[in-house]
Amino acid sequence: MKERPFKERYPTLRSFLKGDGKCHYIGDRYIEGTNIYDRREWRGVADTAYDFGWWLLTWGKMAALVMHNPVRMARAFWKYRWLSAYLAAPHMVDKWIAGDRGLTLRCDRHALNAMISDTIDIIWTMVRADRKLGETRWTSKTIPFDYTLPRHIMCGFPGYSSVNINQQCAFMLPLMIKQMGAYYIDQSVSVGIPQDMCTLPLVEVGVAVEHEYPDLGDCWLCTNNPCDANMMDNAAMYRELSGNGRKAVHAFVTPLMYDDPTTKELAVHEVYSAIEFLEKQLGQKFDWEAFRAGLERVNQVTREELERWDIYATTNVIGLNAVCQGFFRIYFYQQSANRHFERESAKILALFYKGVEKGVNTVPYARHRAVAWSCGSTYNCQVAAWLYNCWGIAVVINMDSLTGHNLVDTEDRDTMMSDVADWYCRTPMRTHTVGGNRHILQVFETARKFNCDMIVMYDDIGCKGMAGCQGLIEEEFRRHSDEFRICWLPHALMDHRTVPPAEARRAVNDYMRTVLGEEPLDPTLEVFDDDAGW
């Protein structure tokens, strides 16, 4: 690590006290060969103290999780390899908020607090109900759902808990430790599943192959979301999550062409079918008033999200950086009515309006306003923060932020169920990648709406659906080349070995230097080795 002279890093007393400046020399703080800080980021006196307080709170929440039942939690850590990844959550947070200052730091910390608090609740919900750790009164009261299947209908079954079981046991792992996803991919490949496909179902199957899903409830809701590749893992997931047929299973199927009028009736039928299945399995009638109340709570948070979008589109108050923004929306979409997201969403919106009132520019060094499109990486999700810190590319909005944001009309049941069916169809990735070509090409409409001059196109090389559309996409990009600067950013979703983060950054570096002729804002971030990092 090169040690910069203090005067070079902080040329004035003000720059030291405020921790601001065009270049933060973030790369200098990495331990050689990693993306791990050798010391915490200096953000100035006020922001460093603020960030450190949240960092301590995160560890406090994690300690409180263990203290629910130390013996049961110890057994869970011993039994489930994936659970150990959550010990790296504070480091994940550091990567997501690198370079944050002022309003952005505060908004991001509130968003992260909602996600961390909710994740801790879900992990404890799974551990306390897991038959593998001993039957409890919660075991039959906890219903496992597939990842990307929102929990909205569970609002109609008060007294029951539900978890997106794949999310915590599979999807989240590379966000915290990139090698963790690769481990489970290898377990899938070891039983004969080809590796050259979407790596998300490969990780899900790997967890099943290792028998590392908790044994919850007496039934399981699976889905065809987000795409056909997800159906590849049906046999392995069925054997594991149904207990080899011991539990009842319902396939909650949603149409790919979700906005085709001819498929709407099917989508509504699927919601009713899932409710009927749960009524039969739980021996409890669906509570329509509780369901309606839950939807109203979800509507309120969605309205707040839409208000933030209006601010993104018309100002430089980009209060949530692209990493926190996208995951906050996906998390909330899947968790439905949730006290953590309701509390923090209101606080974040208040901070946004405060920034507008004071004329704050949260991206003072932005050279480009960008929209990030398609499915982004998990092991390299912090690349959106890197884009701004290194090259001044402020990602104003990303595709995953646009997940399932329609408001539900709760006055009339038929209309309400039609809107709920839309919600279930508009899951992450489904909304703008596998729902039809016209949705992929909404990238241009979205870029205009948010006043962007640049498009960052995530290129998941394992996604056969998007690969089949690549010729069409590139043809459309050429037609819009006078309006937008367009940069491809390669990745392999959950396998860091196929497209290492350094290779993805190299693609951007080459584009920015050779095509746009620009120099990096922070030269320490342009090229660095993080092969041995998390």
pLDDT tens, 448-487? 999 999 999 998 888 777 766 777 888 888 999 999 999 9
Q: Distance (Å, rounded) from C-alpha 140 to C-alpha 216?
A: 7
CB 95 within 8 A of CB 36: no
H or E element that contains 54: helix 45-68
Tell whether the model's pLDDT for residue 60 goes beyond 90.
yes
224 band by pLDDT with thresholds 50, 70 and 90? confident
Decide: helix, strand or coil at residue 405. coil
pLDDT at position 43: 94
- Residue 18: CA count within 13 A, CB half-sphere: 9
CA 448 to chain centre: 24
CB 160 within 8 A of CB 282: yes
Please choose, from the candidates 510, 516, 489, the residue with its C-alpha nearest in 3D space to the C-alpha of residue 501. 489
pLDDT at position 400: 84
106 band by pLDDT with thresholds 50, 70 and 90? very high
User: Cis (ω within 30 of 0) for the bond into 226?
Assistant: yes
Please choose, from the candidates 53, 127, 46, the residue with its C-alpha nearest in 3D space to the C-alpha of residue 90. 53
In percent, how much of the chain has pLDDT > 70? 97
- Residue 157: CA count within 13 A, CB half-sphere: 22
437 band by pLDDT with thresholds 50, 70 and 90? low
pLDDT at position 372: 94
Q: Distance (Å, rounded) from C-alpha 351 to C-alpha 481?
A: 36
pLDDT at position 191: 87
Range of weakest confidence among 25-34, 101-110, 124-133: 25-34
Residue 371 tokens read as 């929209």
CB 5 within 8 A of CB 25: no
pLDDT at position 239: 85
pLDDT at position 200: 87
Q: Distance (Å, rounded) from C-alpha 258 to C-alpha 260?
A: 6
pTM of the model: 0.95
Average pLDDT over residues 224-251: 79
Average pLDDT over residues 341-362: 97
Tell whether the model's pLDDT for residue 1 goes beyond 60.
no
Which residues make beta-bridge pairs with 369? 394
pLDDT at position 436: 62
Range of weakest confidence among 104-113, 288-297, 306-315, 332-341: 332-341
Task: Select the more confidently predicted residue: 510 or 338.
Answer: 510
6 band by pLDDT with thresholds 50, 70 and 90? confident
Average pLDDT, the chain: 91
pLDDT at position 305: 95
Average pLDDT over residues 424-439: 74
